[in-house]
Structure 1
Amino acid sequence: MFCLTYEYKLKPTSNQIVIFEDWLEQNRRVYNYALAERKDWFRSRSCRIDACSLPGEYIIPADVPRPTYNRQAVALTAYRQTRENLQQVHSQVLQQTLKRLEQAFVSMWEGGHGFPRFKKVGKMHSFVFPQLGKDPIQGNTIKLPKIGLVRFRQSRPIADGATIKQARVVKRASGWYVMLTLQWNVSVPEILPHGEPIGIDVGISHFVAVSNGQLFPNPQPFKRLERQLKLLQQRVSRKRLGSNNWRKAQAKVSRLHERIANVRKQYHWKLAHNLCDWAGMIFAEDLNLKALAKGMLAKHCLDAGWGQFLNILPQCCFKRGVYFQKVDAKKTSQICPNCLTQTGKKPLSQRVHSCPECGYTIDRDIAAAQIVCIRGLAAVGHTVKMLSEGKFIGVPATKKSPSF
């Protein structure tokens, strides 16, 4: 099985927009109600039975089972029969909202995420159709259950043999979009190490440094538009909360945020394709992005969007047939790539690597990228041949590869 997600912009009518808005609100209420039920159950079990705080916790009998997706889905089916507004929404769409809440708790338990939060009015931005009818695409329209035909801009054709598994309707500042999950019944072979290897090191002064000596600038989309964003937010603060002028000013802020995100994402995709043009193997650092987002340079790290780039790069490598692997990121800037001698820590102000042992001098970020390349080649069973101009070529391993 092979799946891809295609995104198209919808062109709904005014009546369809009203339906979309109502469905988002109904899904938000179902999400908040299910979350409150789970939260009350957890609170009733978190205090002593002889010292329960009545204002803070509800007394729920001990034999009441923990709310799960299956139990809440059964309760939703019964409750939906008594509420006319919920009957207007497709039943599977409401069930997908409960699944989203279940996944939020799984992410909290297994992924270290925070406790799920209630969603305010207007903060629910999407709903999902897990199943579509037969041949839902009819020209430039898509048939959504209980809504009907909705026009969309078919910016890219759907490949033959694809089955549409689900559709997600998304609301953004620039309009409504539909994300189609397509599935092909084909087996994709695993990509093996081959071709020219390169290592990359992400940074702030330069977004990416490549082991072959190339440096890519950091676009800093948020920093460039921060002044404009500040002015728009000041205009929002001067408007009466909830008024029409407040909504118009808030819409301008949302559109600017979307523009910043689009500029950053487009740069990441272009850079990923550029890197794939050069190599058959790409190695990157396995960074602790959560810790970097809490440091003194958190604002610059989040503006660069390293996490999004390191998610896009493997996808691009998969489509282009390039092998991708992450390697250990420890001490990449403290080891000389020419003699493999540990040179010690460098302050951030020191941007040049100069080895006291062999005299190898090069940009600090490029040296770190070369260490990443060496570790990647060692991980795939290759050794490194060092040339006078500082390039690295992977050759089949004839002896044990260096370890770090």
Structure 2
Amino acid sequence: MDAIQQHNVSYICSSGADVGCSSYYDPGLAAYGTCVRNGCCAYSAQITESTLCDQAPAETCCFRNNVCSDDFCFDVYGTWVSQYRFSGSQADVDQGFAALKEKGVKRVLFNVWANGVIFANSATAQAAGVQFGNDRLAWAVQSARQYGLELYAWFEYGSMACYGSAPSNQFANTASANGWLLYNMVNGQPVYNTDGTGDFVFMDISLQPVRDFLVGISRDIVANYDIDGIQYDDHFALPSGFSSVDSMGQSSRYSQTESLMQAIKDASKSIKPSIHVSFSPSSLLFSRSKHNVDWADWVLRGVVEEVMPQYYRTTAADFKRTLEEDLALITRSDQVVAGIRLSGSSFPENTPQSEVDQMIQISYSKGLKGISFWFADNVILGPYFVPFLRYC
């Protein structure tokens, strides 16, 4: 059975015929094995030896509970494509999307806005001094339709103007001249970074021209491209640590971010009612304290149609702890898609496969809407092997 078929057939566990697994006794766990879908074995108490299960690697020999009930499934299985690889030409995009289709990915979150550059046509962006990189989103639309993938325009930089400690690109300089940037005056000099910003320069989204800019680029891209959704992430923020922000009351700060996201959603749906609006924040307590984003309230009020928190941890234990902290504070786990880290700059090493597999199992057991991998390179090129997932 080839890789594409593995992800599209109606899967039935065949443990009765898998005598290799059912007759295998694990003395450490004091149990015989049962073949279950890969990704469904609790606590990774499994053996992936291909001779034990007839449909390996789609199934695995498990010595603990099968956490995937017969009627449970993920609505979302996605991954983020960055500005660096598998996006620089039509051939690059096609290569990446073809590999993602083969590996069972259903949704691609494709970068269109980064460091003062937009990779799609937008009159709003052009008027604001944004550099046009090239029309990468047109390439992504072509490949997504060819391979039957959901395509979301991912606005990676959100309300950030640039990377660094001061304006460093054409757009950021224009934004600075227009008075759009957040900063503190220290010893007579502007300081653009705080504990809530990291090494990035943010725009002040309490200003109407900034709000109009973000609503405008979102609306333009929805109007100009055949996409299924849009996504902003943790870089959509009104960061704490600036005097102009901290002087507001907490409810006012939360209201600024929520009302802007609502305006983005309303403008996008006025163009295309079926467009799906997703948000990928940091964990809830960090989002509230550092970014003035109360995304639990957004879920409750329907400001966004799903949240995809970045639970980027290198161990399943840390992933589970952070996820459970958030789930205790929100009303609906079925609106949560877990962002799972395969690799990234925060840690030099890849997350071990066994830890990622456990994170998937935890996501099943908590009844989440799905999962999304940070980021696509590791799915396309390895070393991570994507397990079989059951889709709704």
> Which protein shows a greater Rg?
1
The structure showing larger relative contact order (alpha-carbon pairs under 8 Å, at least 6 residues apart) is 2
More helix by share: 1
* TM-score under structure 1 length normalisation: 0.22
* TM-score under structure 2 length normalisation: 0.22
